[in-house]
Amino acid sequence: MIDLFLHAPSLADMAAGLALVGLSVNGEMVPASHTHALAVVVDDTAGVIVAVRCLEDALAGAIRATSLAEVARPDGWAWAG
């Protein structure tokens, strides 16, 4: 399991980047599947940060190959539950 934190200028840019790996459909991010979980961590004027928990190493590699910027985990943020 690999947690990635991704940054994009807007939700639309994030959805477009995630569409390349099947985590966005018709401009909407897919919150979970058998290979991942996804949560919007930050959505403000500085951009969008999304957490993606990859249950397969290949998915993490595919996401890292997109143009989305990988960033550090935001302070104080944790998966719910």
Can you give the residue range of the structural domain that contains 8? 2-70
Do residues 63 and 19 lie in contact, with contact meaning Cβ atoms separated by under 8 Å? no
In one-letter notation, the amino acid at residue 44 is D
* 81 lies in some domain: no
* 62 lies in some domain: yes
Number of domains in the chain: 1
* 13 lies in some domain: yes
The per-residue pLDDT for range 12-25, each reduced to its tens digit, is 999 999 999 999 99
Q: Is the model's pTM score more than 0.75?
A: yes
Classify the phi-psi angles of 2: left when phi > 0, otherwise alpha if psi is within -120 to 50, otherwise beta: beta
Tokens of 80: 């719910």
In one-letter notation, the amino acid at residue 48 is V
* 65 lies in some domain: yes
Confidence of residue 76 (pLDDT cuts 50, 70, 90): confident
The per-residue pLDDT for range 17-66, each reduced to its tens digit, is 999 999 999 989 999 999 999 998 888 888 999 999 999 999 999 999 99
